[in-house]
Each structure stands twice: as structure tokens, then as C-alpha cells.
Structure 1
Amino acid sequence: MPVTPLSPSTPARVRQRLSGAIAAMVSAAVPPFLVAVLAVQIDRDIGFSTVQLGGGVAAYFFVSALGSPWAGRLVATYGAARPLRIATLACTVGLLAVAAAPAGWAVVAALALLGIANAAAQPAATHVITGIELPRTRATAFGLVQSSIPATTLLAGVVLAAFQDQSWRLAVVLVAALTLAAQLPLRWVKDPEAPPVAAQVEPPTRRGGIEQDRARGFVALMAATGFFVSLASTCLPSFLVVTGLLYGLSPSLVAGVQVAGSLTSILVRVVAASTGASMSGAGNVAGVVLLASAGALGFGLISTGSAAAFVAGSLLAYGCGWGWSGLFNLSVTRAVPHTAAASTGVTQGGIFLGGSIGPLAFAGVVHGSGTQLAWGLAAVSACVASACALAARHRWTRPVVVHHRLGEEPT
């Protein structure tokens, strides 16, 4: 289903649809981070090792990676409204399954099934945003929707502080009830009618997009960028709490760092995406390069083992190493505006694949060589992501060589 712009004269409708997309994204993104912050309590109750935590988060993102390209094509064809509602309901059911888990393996299985809902929610939310006509509003919307992900870690941090001495099952049930309440704003998300044929065939360069023969390579490089930066950043909310406790910080201080980091990431995502509206599309990609590079520094600080460096590195890694996604998705949709849902399905596939491998690899490195080396390798991965984004920007900006026959005017 091609995207129909929403009228700029209906800001209330834009806010309503955006609230529905954010509610669905929060519901889809919260499960692995909620389980991560409650891992210690779950382990005491039913047995839930670090390897199982890494395996569960990896399974969630691996299933998301497999389903995301398919979900992107489905949303592009049939629209976003129904996938968002079904995905959110599936999150409620999946979280209740986590709360009822009799053993650690059941938590891992529930997280794997919840990955299906996450795969559908991401491209569907992108489809809703690309229907916003005003450029700055659309760019800010990308930041707001992507802020739903660190908002889930904020919620998880609050849960950790409130339920550290209480039942983890009750905490999961309460979050499941919140995902059920997310169905209320989703009633405002409706699929528009198809636009005129002329709008469907308008070349992407008319809207500042990349040439068609370069689009596939650009999307592939951005998917690689998403893979490597997610390889590092997904370990942040998944293992930051465990690392802070290992470094000797109190649970309340670790929870405070988690909350502060989440707020920093939300701020960076919104500001970076909103600022990106006044930049060129290639300039947006350059912003991704800078954020990934700064994030690498944050991961490096966490790897030092110092409590002070842990706090500073966590804020930098959260803000930059995990604050790139709003600007990232804005870059992709500006490059390929008429295949936004399908293309972001591919790039999200890269992000989810990194998210699936990252926690598992991190847990393996921790088990074999220690926590500090694991965070050091996360910094290296963020550097590789920065290099991939730089290559994608070069592909977008390099001069076009046009061949024409003698006597014809160049095109």
C-alpha cells in the first residue's frame, strides 16, 4: 500500500496516529529489557542464568530479524493498522506467558515468540510516520517513535527500583496490563486510501531520494550499519545492570543510571531526528556516523571497570551509541521514500540480527574472558558501524556518471 500524506491541516489526527504507533512500539520493545532488569530475581525464583538471559534476548531479536523483511513487504501491501493491533495484543499474551513461566527455558521460549510481534511493529510504525507530509513534523515523529525503545528501558529501570524486593511475576503482569491499554490509542491508526497514480510513480529523486540503481547498495550498507551498531547497543540495556552490580554499584544507583541513560537516549533521538529535517539526506547519514563513533567511546569507558567511568560511559553510550535510530530511519526513508516500509524492513532486519547475536556473543565473552573485554569488543563493533555508515553516505553523494551517445544532450 503506497503511503498517502496526511493533511497538514489535521495536526490532531497526526498526534493521534503517532500516539498509536508509539504505544505499539513500546509494547513490542519492552519484553527483553524487562526480563533483563528482572534477571536476578527470576534466577533466584526459577533459575535463569546469564547464558539463558543472553539466549532469550538473542532469540527475541533473531526471530525479529527473520520476520522483519517479510513484515515490511506485508505492511507496504496491506497497510499498518491491523499489524500494529495484532502485534500489541501478541505482546500482552507473550508477557503473561513470561509471568507464568515455570523455569528459565520457558522465559526464553516466550521471548522468542515475542520477536514476531516486534518484527511487525517496526515497519508498521514507519509506514504511519511516512504518511506525515510536513518534513520537520515527520522527522520529529521518527525521533519520538524510536524514543519508545529507550522508554521501555526507562520503564524497566522503574520496575527494577520498585520491585527489587517484591515479586517479579507481579511486575511482568503489570507491564502486560499496560500493553493491553495500548490498544486504546491504536484505534486512531487507520490505513489511508491509495494516492493518485502520478504520485505512485514519481521518481525518488524528486523528493531528494537516491537514484534507483544505487538504492539497493545503499540499503544493504545501512543494514550492515544497523547490524554492527545493534551488535553493541543491544548489550547495553541487556547487561548494564549486571555489569554495574559486578563493579560494586548499589542496585539503586544502577537503576538511576539506567533511568538517566534512557532519558538521555530519548532526548538525543528526538533532537537528532528533528534537526535532521533541516539537513540533506546524506547529512543525516553523516549524523549517524558521528553518533556511532561517540557511542564507541562510551562503550570503551564502560570497559575500564571504573565506577565513575561506568556512569559517564553509560550516559554516552545510551545517548549516542543507542540514540542513532531516529536519525537512521529518517535517512533510509529519505533515500527511498516510495519503498520506505519495505526498505526499513530490510534495515531493521540488520538491526535485529545484530541484536540477536550481540547478547549471545556478549554472554559468551563474559563467560570466557570477562565483562571488560566484552564491552571493549562492543566499542569495536560500534566503530565498524560508523565505517559502514560512512560508506553508505559516499554511495549517496558520489557524482553520477551519465553516458550518452554522440550528438545527444546529457540527461
Structure 2
Amino acid sequence: MVTAAAPRRGRSALVMVLASAITTLGAIPPFLLGAQAVEIREDLGLGLGAFGVAVSVFFATAAVATLSTSGVVDRWGRGWLLMAAGSLVAGGGLAMTLLARGWWSVMLVMVVLGLGNAASQATANLLMARALPPGRRGLGFGVKQSAVPLAIMLGGLAVPTTGALWGWRSTFVITAAAGLVVCAGAVALLVQGRRRRRRRGRSAPASLPELLESPPTLPLVLAALAITFASAAANFVGAFTASWGFEVGLSPSQTGVLMALGSGGSIMVRIFSGWRADHRHGANLPVVATQMGVGALACAGLALGTPWAVWVFGLLVFSIGWSWPGLLLYAVARLGRDNPAQASGAVQAGAFAGGAFGPALLGALSQEAGFPLAWGVAAGCFALAGLLILLSRRRFTADLLRRPPREPFRYARSKVTPSREV
């Protein structure tokens, strides 16, 4: 019994690590920009508003690409998706290194890197959906969604290391090299798949899943709106904490360390939250709302504008205030009935939308009215998102009571239909 379980645990762990690594590679470009904001803005002559637009272009491109290709992703397969992700990340990294000289060139490069992010997310989601058992998906989503704080942490560490030694462009050389490694892995995967098909011959056509019930529309819209507001605030935090820290007296290296420590805390909280979700019978959305509430308080604290406040509340907003994405995605996907991809896709679209307009609007507000007001608006976005999550939970609960699921919800050690699933 032990020998049979061990390979399954090992395979699940490998899938989680691969999904997180691919997602990190796709997500890291805007956070490399954010962590090295002072140097990049001086080198390229970018203002705060233009810098925020660059980050928003990245997320807007990813959102459009995700929505426009959602119907064909499954037909591409993991090999070609991996090839697309690696090629776009490598091409964008090289272009940022060699061609970025001003506003327009940076925007065009961020479009390419945004496409790479969309391909990376699709590849990771495909791995999660096809390779993880139900009792490990909470932990799996926690590990996968740890990719964003991992990207922020790596971006922060790049400032006092690679960036300090060879300049900010060298950090994009590293991402380009990683993209080429992904391309090599994609080639190996495609060759292996072709050999397997030759050995097995022509496979039987796959049976289509029986579509029974769709997720309830209103609570899903509320959840998507919630993550839009929360993602707007969170991505503003990731893109502009370094700039704010520099204004209040921290050195670029200190702000890089701050972002790295906060992101490490967020990774631990996200993984722990996912693990708890697998062992807890529901009640996940109240945890999400609480984490967003902590984000609101921390953003209000950042507005104080002292070095100690940036350290304390910066660590708090990164480690707890931005630890909800994996748990929210897991909870909503479970409530998607027979269409979990539709439910998680709505949430993912909201996340990209928030990432698109948050840095641009709040970055422009920072430039025109100052950072304290922008932090106050970010706090309001977090608070509104938490309220929308609680309202969404009420509607999801009412739908569960009105339409009990055909199959009981699965947990790590049991299979039940709890009355308070959400």
C-alpha cells in the first residue's frame, strides 16, 4: 500500500512544481520592471504613469489572449503550448535586452511577454486539470498560484545581485535563457509524444464529457468583480512598492529585499491555505475575504510614508493581503458544477483585467496626486473586493441549497456534500 501511494505523491509533487515554475516564468516580467523601477525609469526616461501603462499592457495582452484562445487550448496539447510559452518568453526577454530604448519599444515588448504569460498560464492549468487527483487540488492551486509572489521575490532578489552587477537588462537575459530551456523541454515532450503514438497506433476517439449543470451566473460575476478590484490593488502593490520605498528613504537594494521577504511569506501562506482547503469541509471564501481585509489595512498603513511603515505594512500586504488567489480559484472551480473551466476562466479573466487597469490608473494617480492617496484607493479596492466575496458566498450557498450537486464534493480523506461548502 505504501509503495503504491508513494509514486502517486511523487507525481503530484512534480506536477505542482512544474506548473509553478512555468507560471513563474510567464509572470515575472512586470515584477522585474517593478523591482528595478528606479534604474529603468532613469535609463529609459519613463514617468510613473508610463511605467504603470507598461505593466498594464502586459496584463491586458494576457487577458485578451486568454479569452480569445480558450476554445482551442485543449486541442493544442501540452507540448505545443509549452513551445509557445518558451518561445514568447525567450523572444520578449531578448527584445527587452537589445531593443528597449524608450516608451514605444517597451510597450511592444510587454505585448510579447504578455502573450508568453497567457501561454504559460494555459500550460500550467492544463497540467493541473489533467494530472492531479481531486484530493490534492487545493494544495495544487496553492502551489501554482505561488508563482506570482515567487516572481516578485525573484524580481526583488535581482536588484542587489544580477541587476547591481551587470545592470537591469541582464535580468531579462536570464529569463530569455530560461525560455530557451522551456523550448528544449517542449521539443523533448513532442518527440516523446510522437514516439508513443507510433507505438500505440491510432487511438480511439475520446468520449465527450456529459454536460449537466453550469455554475450560477450571479455569484460567479460577483466573484469575478471581486478579484478584478483585488487584483488591481495587488498588482499596484507589486509594481510600485519599490518606487514608494525609494521615495520614503529606502535604498533600491532594501526595497528589493523587502519585496523578496514579503513574497516568500505570501508563498508560504498560499501553500498552507491550499493544504488546509483540502482538509477543511468548505468555508473557503470567508478566508479569502479575511485575507483581502488584511490587504486593505496594510495598504492604508503604507500611506503613513515612513520607512518602518513601508517595512511592516509592506511585508503584511505581500504575505497575507495577497495570499488569496489560489484559494479563491480553487473554491470557485469546485462550485463550477460540470463546467469548472468556465468558472475558473471567469475568475482568471477578472484577475487579468485588474492587473491591466490597476497599475495604469493607480500609477497615474500616484504621479498626479501622490502615493498616499493612491494607497488609500488601493485599500478601498481591497475592502470592496472582500465585501463582494462575502456577497458571492451567500449566492453560491443559496444555489447549493436549491440545486444540490449530483456528485458529492471530494476532499483529501472523505467525500461529502457539506451544507457550508463555500
Length-normalised TM-score, structure 1 = 0.86
The Cα shift of 1:80 comes to: 4.2
Question: Aligned residue for 1:365?
Answer: 365
Q: Which amino acid aligns with 1:146?
A: Q
Is the contact made by 1:95 and 1:172 (CA closer than 8 Å) also made in structure 2?
yes
Shift of 1:69: 2.4
Letter in 1 for 2:372: Q
Question: Helix, strand or coil for the counterpart of 1:234?
Answer: helix
Counterpart residue identity of residue 320, structure 1: I
Q: Which amino acid aligns with 2:364?
A: G
Point out the more displaced range, 137-146 or 339-348.
339-348
Q: Which of the residues 192, 200, 210 maps onto 1:201?
A: 210
1:240 aligns to what?
241
Distance 2:173 2:141 in 1: 29
1:84 matched residue in structure 2: 82
Distance 2:342 2:396 in 1: 19
Aligned AA for 1:59? Answer: V
In the alignment, the residues of structure 2 paired with residue 202 and residue 75 of structure 1 have an alpha-carbon distance, to the nearest angstrom, of 19
**Paired letter, 1:56:** A
Alpha-carbon spacing, 1:288–1:296, altered in 2? closer, same or farther (3 Å): same
- Measured at CA, do residues 391 and 298 of structure 1 come closer, stay the same or move farther in structure 2, by a change above 3 Å? same
Range moving further from structure 2, 376-385 or 117-126: 117-126
Quote how far apart the aligned CAs of 1:247 are: 0.7
Alignment partners' CA distance in 2, 1:223 and 1:154: 26
Report deviation, 1:321.
2.1
- Inter-partner Cα distance in structure 2 for 1:19 and 1:195: 31
Deviation at 1:195, TM superposition (A): 10
Task: Report the Cα distance in structure 2 between the residues aligned to 1:94 and 1:395, rounded to whole angstroms.
Answer: 42
Contact 2:211 2:339 (8 Å CA) reproduced: no
RMSD: 2.7
Structure 1 residues 188, 15: closer, same or farther in 2, change over 3 A?
farther
Conservation of the 8 A alpha-carbon contact between 2:86 and 2:181: no
Counterpart contact for 1:84–1:124, Cα < 8 Å = yes
Unaligned runs of at least 5 residues, structure 2 = 198-202, 404-422
The residue aligned with 2:218 is 217
Question: Are the structure 2 counterparts of residues 154 and 303 from structure 1 closer, same or farther at C-alpha, using a change threshold of 3 Å?
Answer: same
Moved more, 361-370 or 216-225: 216-225
1:314-353 map, 5 Å: 314-336=314-336, 338-353=338-353
| Deviation, structure 1 residue 299 | 1.0
Per-residue deviation, residues 29-66 of structure 1 (Å, max 9, x unmatched):
01111122223222333322222211100111111222
Match of 2:31, as an amino acid?
A: F
Report the CA distance shift for 1:263/1:233 in structure 2 as closer, same or farther (over 3 A).
Answer: same
Instruction: Quote the residue 2:418 is aligned against.
Output: none
Conserved in 2, the CA contact under 8 Å of 1:122 and 1:348?
A: no
Q: 1:108 to 1:354 in 2, by over 3 A?
A: same
SS at match of 1:73: coil
Aligned-pair CA distance for 1:254: 1.4
Structure-2-length-normalised TM-score: 0.84
Change over 3 Å in CA distance of 1:216–1:197 after alignment to 2:
farther
Hey, what's the Cα distance between the residues in 2 that align with 1:97 and 1:194?
A: 44
2:46 aligned to 28, 45, 48, which one?
Answer: 48
Number of residue pairs aligned between Structure 1 and Structure 2 = 386
SS of the equivalent of 1:201 reads: coil
Residue 389, structure 1, aligned to residue 389, structure 2: yes
| Cα distance in 2 between the residues matched to 1:287 and 1:164 | 39
The answer for the alignment partner of 2:303 in structure 1 is 303
Identity of aligned residues (%): 28
In 1, are the aligned partners of 2:132 and 2:140 still within 8 Å (CA)?
no
